[in-house]
Structure 1
Amino acid sequence: MMPEWKNLTYEKDGRIARITFNRPEALNAISAGLSQELKEVLADFDSDPDLWLAIVSGNGSCFCAGADIRETGKEARLPSSRVDHYYLDAPVNWKPVIAAVHGYCYGAGLVFAAECDIIIATEDATFSIVETKRGMPAITLSAQLAPWMASKKVTEMIVTGDPFPAQDVYRLGLVNHLVPTYDDLLPAAEKLAERILANPPMAVRSAIQAARMSVFQSQTYRDSELLFRSSRWKEWDDFKEGMAAFKEKRAPVFKGR
């Protein structure tokens, strides 16, 4: 019997696993609970021989608005390394995962979507690297996104923290397909899934493994991860100010230290 999930839904529909972030009241922000449940269902998906493909989406108004930094009160619960956020870097069977994105795809939500093998998005979706605005370095996201987008646009996303419309990231190569509305999103993902499922699964998985490993095991990625780990950003006054300002819903006052 499958456990009852508090932060997501997990359904098995023939060869397709349907995973839906289900914290609409928090804009599907990734809390510690959601992160753990996501790892658990992805492990089940990976090990179930009857499942060949997963579609991940968000319930409510958006896909995911980022990490839930409010859940621990005064102090944000942040991992000692960004690698704690990764979900698809080392599976056993390398099955394809489609991200079906609408509304906000920010911060940790973008981290996860970028890990997925294919992204389908609504035309009104927006993508943003919000870490910089909170006083955190987005070092590994730079290495993660650069293979799929023009690197200088990735740099612009990082240093501004501004949202980019779906049309822009589609044109730059991060998004595979655009659909007009939310009502079109899951049907489009399902049609694409059927095209993939028509092919021999072992050949598909070999391609998925090669694509993911080209990012996760690249020297640039490894170097960026080491740089993130060695950075003392948690001690920055600007990081503490960025967190406090976000929770207090005010403009931050950064001092460059």
Structure 2
Amino acid sequence: MEPRLDHQVSNAVATVVIGNPAKRNAMTAGMWRSLPPLLDGLAADPAVRVLVLTGEGGTFCAGADISSLRGSAAEAQTLAGAAEEALAAFPKPTLAAVRGHCVGGGSQLAAACDLRFAEEGASFGVTPARLGIVYPAASTRRLVSLVGPATTKYLLFSGELVDTERALRCGLVDEVLPEGELDKRVAEFTRILAARSQLTQAAAKEFANGRTDRDAHWAEQARGSDDTAEGVAAFLERRPPRFTWSLPGRG
């Protein structure tokens, strides 16, 4: 089967699946190129409130397809960087569901998600030093924000893989699930995310990602929204809230 990115939307959750099982879901140039427009479409879909990124079968993503580097390593890096930035800029909550190897370009994609849940036995590695590649500045800063400068240097200098225990301890993943429990936990948690205020989530994502110049914008959005009144009413009435705010211009 040809390498591809599959996706489906169910119960407000979009699931994007990296599919290249013959090469442990390594990303080809075509796959890197197709990710940003796919994300744009899902971001604009008002039915989507959460995005999950995962890999087909027992592997998340083993990185870039090395054969693609023989033509132009610079072009491959550019495509991977554009895909990573598109994922990081996705305006709704994103979660990487990781099994097996999450290495190289796979680790870039996982780090670009807001959250990472992993199944026991998964392994993580940032491996440009094995290939003589300069890791992009934006990717390095993103990794530093997750795990700190010391662990970033450990990962980048050595290219060594770390297990889920160390990944959880250093902040590379948020939850580690026993074998067979990852899908259940992801479904449970994304239901929670989809039920929360998209207004709160969108503002929090911008602020957490370093946008400190938009206080006035989000205050205006809050004033024009019914989400606060609905949240308070639902709390007092002991019922689930029905939040209605959605990203402006996206449905």
The answer to whether the superposition gives a TM-score over 0.5 is yes
**2:127 partner SS:** coil
1:49-101 Cα distance to aligned partner (Å, 9 max, x none):
1110011110023100001121465654523586434222434xx10111000
Q: Distance in 1 between matches of 2:194 and 2:83?
A: 28
TM-score normalised to structure 2 length? 0.76
2:201 alignment partner in structure 1: 204
Matched, 1:99 2:71: no
2:246 alignment partner in structure 1: none
**2:192 partner SS:** helix
2:112 alignment partner in structure 1: 115
Quick one: which of 164, 177, 180 aligns to 1:179? 177
Q: Distance in 2 between matches of 1:186 and 1:198?
A: 18
TM-score normalised to structure 1 length? 0.75
Q: Is the 8 A contact 1:89 1:212 kept in 2?
A: no
2:123 alignment partner in structure 1: 126
1:147-199 Cα distance to aligned partner (Å, 9 max, x none):
12132111011111000111101111121100011x21121111111121221
Quick one: which of 38, 50, 71 aligns to 1:41? 38
1:146 alignment partner in structure 2: 144
Matches within 5 A, 1:52-71: 52-71=49-68
2:87 alignment partner in structure 1: 88
1:8 alignment partner in structure 2: 5
Change in 2 beyond 3 A, CA 1:58/1:83: closer
Larger radius of gyration: 2
Q: Distance in 2 between matches of 1:8 and 1:144?
A: 24
Change in 2 beyond 3 A, CA 1:173/1:73: closer
Q: Distance in 2 between matches of 1:82 and 1:7?
A: 15
Matches within 5 A, 1:224-243: none
Structure 1 residue runs of 4+, over 6 Å off?
none
**1:18 partner SS:** strand
1:185-219 Cα distance to aligned partner (Å, 9 max, x none):
121111111121221111111112222346xxxxx
Quick one: which of 168, 171, 174 aligns to 1:170? 168
Percent of aligned pairs with the same amino acid: 25
| Root mean square deviation of aligned Cα | 2.2
Q: What is the one-letter code of the residue matched to 1:84?
A: A
Q: Distance in 2 between matches of 1:130 and 1:72?
A: 14
2:159 alignment partner in structure 1: 161
**1:113 partner SS:** helix
Q: Is the 8 A contact 1:20 1:59 kept in 2?
A: yes
Change in 2 beyond 3 A, CA 1:73/1:151: closer
Change in 2 beyond 3 A, CA 1:115/1:74: closer
Structure 1 residue runs without a partner (length 5+): 215-257
Cα drift, residue 123 of structure 1: 1.4
**2:147 partner SS:** coil
Q: Distance in 2 between matches of 1:6 and 1:156?
A: 32
Change in 2 beyond 3 A, CA 1:131/1:173: same
Q: Distance in 1 between matches of 2:78 and 2:95?
A: 28
